[in-house]
Amino acid sequence: MFEELRRVSLCVLLGAALSGRAYAVQEGESDVAVPLKLSGYYKNLLQNSVTIVPTEQAYTLDLNRLRLELKGQIHPALSVDVQYDNEILLGSYLRSAQFGLQKDLRPAQYWQAESNYIDSPDVYGRHRLYRAFATLAVDDTDVRVGRQRIAWGTGRFWSPLDILNPISPIQLEREERPGADAILIEHKLGEVSRVSAVYAAQRPGASGSGALYWHANRTGVDFSIVAGRFRGDRLLGADFATQIGNAGLRGELTVTSPSGARHYRRALVGVDYAFANTLTISGEIYYNGAGASDPSAYDFESLLAGRIQNVGQRYAGVFASYEITPLLKTTNYFVANLHDGSRYFAPGLTYSLRTNIDWTIGVQRFSGSASSEYGHFNNVYYSQLQWFF
């Protein structure tokens, strides 16, 4: 599998580069004007915490990731975006039973574009295609095929509409979103309005997802309507975003009808405000009709496997960021389960060592009873160094 994936990755990158060069020559451009661009980053993320399954075990984990991105136009109507990850994991976490369970979890995407090439108690190496899609633009219609991020919804912590690429509100790497292997057709109806159709395949044996999406703006209010079937469940939803004075107001509502079960609702209301002194604050209230109000009914197995993002019903989240100096910034995430009283708090400090090098230190603190949602986790202390190129 490793050799096959490596050959495919190299062929995609080489083919795109040659195609881009051919296009540049055809248009009479110089080599410098080749429309494809290679960029990426290197990240070192060092964590210290305690496992939660099957038993508690103190550990360290040192993640090293190299991401290469090749993107641009290979034809006036055709563009590509290929992002390749190569990761090396080190530390005592590799010898824990929790990592043994985690590394065997198969991604939900249809295309199994991920493989490990080193698997030992001291070193674990893996690589994957994080993104790989092509976009064909014909007049006002775009057709995008491949592993991509389809961003629907307005939520920062939660998003009832972001069904294809959901994120956990306590995820450490919040900017990392699993892509969907999908076909997206998007037609522009005006400057700010569009209609979209999407089909996302899942791994063999699982139901795929298909939906229609309409986005428009009326009297200063952005809004969207979504209808479709996601992994076998029918869904109808809408969102809105507007400005009231200097504050932003947004919200989402969905109704989901699972096969053979009662329908449930998810709802979100959020407020954002940016002060002149660089302080930015966002707050969200979230209702999850698929969750449980009784901690004894929490589905921790699905939560730890990544199939759901929360086990409870009612939540509140607050985000605050502030530039202490032009080079030093603090970010703070706070999440509370309003039923069981458990809480999550994640303060962090980011310092710009250079224009393209950031160093972040922080902690993820969990509190609550042993049977509560966030009391189920252990604190995480981390340091992250990221170099962009």
Q: Kindly indicate the confidence band of residue 107, based on its pLDDT and cuts at 50, 70 and 90.
A: confident
For 161-220, write each residue's pLDDT tens digit: 998 888 899 999 999 988 999 999 999 999 999 999 999 988 777 788 999 999 999 999
In three-state secondary structure terms, 4 is: helix
Three-state SS letters, 324-364: CCCCEEEEEEEEEECCCCCEEEEEEEEEEEECCEEEEEEEE
Cβ pair 319, 270 in contact under 8 A: no
So what's the pLDDT on residue 205?
72
Are 35 and 20 in contact by the 8 Å Cβ rule? The answer is yes
Q: How much is the average pLDDT of 36-64?
A: 96
pLDDT of residue 163: 86
Report the CATH number of the 212-389 domain. Answer: 2.40.160.10
Residue 17 confidence class, pLDDT cut points 50, 70, 90: very low
pLDDT tens-digit profile of 271-327?
999 999 999 999 999 999 999 999 999 999 888 877 889 999 999 999 999 999 999
Cα–Cα–Cα angle for 123, 148, 299, nearest 5°? 65
Single out the residue of 282, 260, 261 nearest to residue 271, CA to CA: 282
Q: Which residue has the higher pLDDT, 13 or 69?
A: 69
Instruction: List the beta strands (DSSP E) in the chain.
Output: 36-50, 58-75, 78-90, 114-119, 123-138, 141-148, 180-188, 194-200, 209-218, 221-230, 233-244, 247-257, 264-274, 280-288, 314-323, 328-337, 343-354, 357-367, 380-388
Specify the higher pLDDT residue, 53 or 7: 53
pLDDT band at 29 (very low <50, low <70, confident <90, very high): very low
Q: Hey, what are 274's tokens?
A: 């940016």
- Residue boundaries of the structural domains of the chain: 1-148, 212-389
Global pTM reads 0.87
Return mean pLDDT, the chain.
Answer: 90
